[in-house]
Structure 1
Amino acid sequence: MPLSSPAERDHIHTRKITCTGYRRKDGLWDIEGHITDTKTYGFENNDRGEIPPGVPIHEMWLRITVRDDMVIHAAEAVTDHAPFSACDEIAPNYENLVGLKIGPGLKQQIREKVGGIYGCTHLTELMGPVATTAFQTIFPIRVREAEERRKQAEQDGATSGPSRKRRSPLVNSCHGWRSDGAAVKRIAPDMYTGDPSSG
């Protein structure tokens, strides 16, 4: 369902963010983010001269390479367009993200590595959707493959002791994943905190 009809208005600015996840042949994962900011009007920029309508004032790329354990193995940033000629100088600092783990506390760790004058506001912001895309890329594949291995072991007659409880780091991360909700009851019943007799 779309948003309600807006008031009469003029289009001024567009920010586009695209994030894509890839599984590499070497077993690692590449997550790439691309951000652009464009205006519907042209304007004069001290470092770049006239910037016509639709030409990016910001255009940046960020790639992180992640291991199965969600630890960043490599990081690379590129600035194609920025308002100041010095902006692209900071891109190499994003290699400082190597070693960080995608999970709780990541935002603070990113700020410590590339916050303020040690980074680019837009590249640092881009790490938010890039990290989410990493989780969306890696987690479902790992869960599916673990389930396939479990089924194969059962078919092969292997016994692995008591079955492991189904846990999910998503529980209580949003309303849909609340611990007393239907999704958690179905997907991770050992973490369900609602009424067990409810339908």
Structure 2
Amino acid sequence: MSATSLSAPAEREPIHTRRVTCQGFRRADGLWDIEGHLTDVKSYGFHTEERGHLDPGTPIHQMWMRLTVDDKLTVMAVEAVTQDSPYRACGSITPSFQQLVGLRVGPGWTRAVKERLGGPKGCTHLVELLGPLATTAFQTVYPILAREAAERARAAGTPLPDDGKRPVLLNMCHIFDSNGEVVRRNWPAHYTGEAGAERREEAAE
């Protein structure tokens, strides 16, 4: 079993806190809203070129993002807001995030985001927020759709349909390694470990 928390730290003082909060919502119109909020604060007061003195705990960055997606995680609408930033012009880049409309959250998402919004084409902090927003989209949409599909199948007395598609979670982390026990148990057709190799050999005979 892994540890329940970090070990006791050395004597220290807090300097910087970044908070990222993401939430997923099901909308009445059948779409999904995935929202993120990012803040950066310091434990000390300091001077900024355009905002002047900032007291301890005053956000140097505060950004919001909403992705509206469909059941396939295709982005249907985007709203990005820079509420607090070091420079007044920081928020002028938010319209560029409309380039996300039409993209699908899934394989290739990070690359597509960087191509459109990386470096001077976007805002570092809003782009970083898109990572946890993508994870939140998966966690929001797929469990609900899977549960409802299972409920429909049980009500109809039929087995769950197997469309043969590659499981979304396959090889996303070590737990879902295609050679591992979780994949062997839940998606045997996609298991590539020893037993999977034996099945393929038998099918070829």
Q: Please give the TM-score of this superposition, normalised by the length of structure 2.
A: 0.88
Deviates more, 1:50-59 or 1:85-94: 85-94
Structure 2 CA distance, aligned partners of 1:169 and 1:4?
Answer: 34
Q: What residue is the counterpart of 1:145 in the other structure?
A: 148
CA offsets, 1:124-156, max 9 Å, x none? Answer: 01000001100110011111112222222326x
**AA of the residue aligned to 2:192:** T
Structure 1 CA distance, aligned partners of 2:118 and 2:192?
Answer: 38
Residues 26, 55 of structure 1: CA spacing in aligned structure 2 closer, same or farther, 3 A cutoff?
Answer: same
- 1:173 equivalent to 2:136? Answer no
Q: What residue is the counterpart of 1:103 in the other structure?
A: 106
Q: Which runs of 4+ in 1 moved over 3 A?
A: 162-167
Structure 2 CA distance, aligned partners of 1:165 and 1:154?
Answer: 21
- Listed as ranges, the matches of 1:40-55 within 5 Å are 40-55=43-58
Give the conservation status (yes or no) of the 8 Å contact 1:43–1:52. yes
Question: Aligned residue pairs: how many?
Answer: 193
CA offsets, 1:134-191, max 9 Å, x none? Answer: 0110011111112222222326xxx99x855585121111011111222112221221
SS at match of 2:88: coil
Q: Which runs of 5+ in 2 are unaligned?
A: 197-205
Q: What residue is the counterpart of 1:192 in the other structure?
A: 191
Structure 1 CA distance, aligned partners of 2:40 and 2:162?
Answer: 50
Structure 1 CA distance, aligned partners of 2:163 and 2:140?
Answer: 23
Deviates more, 1:26-35 or 1:179-188: 179-188
Give the conservation status (yes or no) of the 8 Å contact 1:166–1:190. no
Structure 1 CA distance, aligned partners of 2:109 and 2:143?
Answer: 20
Q: What residue is the counterpart of 1:60 in the other structure?
A: 63
Q: Please give the TM-score of this superposition, normalised by the length of structure 1.
A: 0.90
Determine which of 7, 18, 22 is the counterpart of 2:21. Answer: 18
Structure 2 CA distance, aligned partners of 1:94 and 1:180?
Answer: 38
Q: What percent of counterpart residues are identical?
A: 52
**AA of the residue aligned to 2:55:** P
Q: Which runs of 5+ in 1 are unaligned?
A: none
Deviates more, 1:181-190 or 1:16-25: 181-190
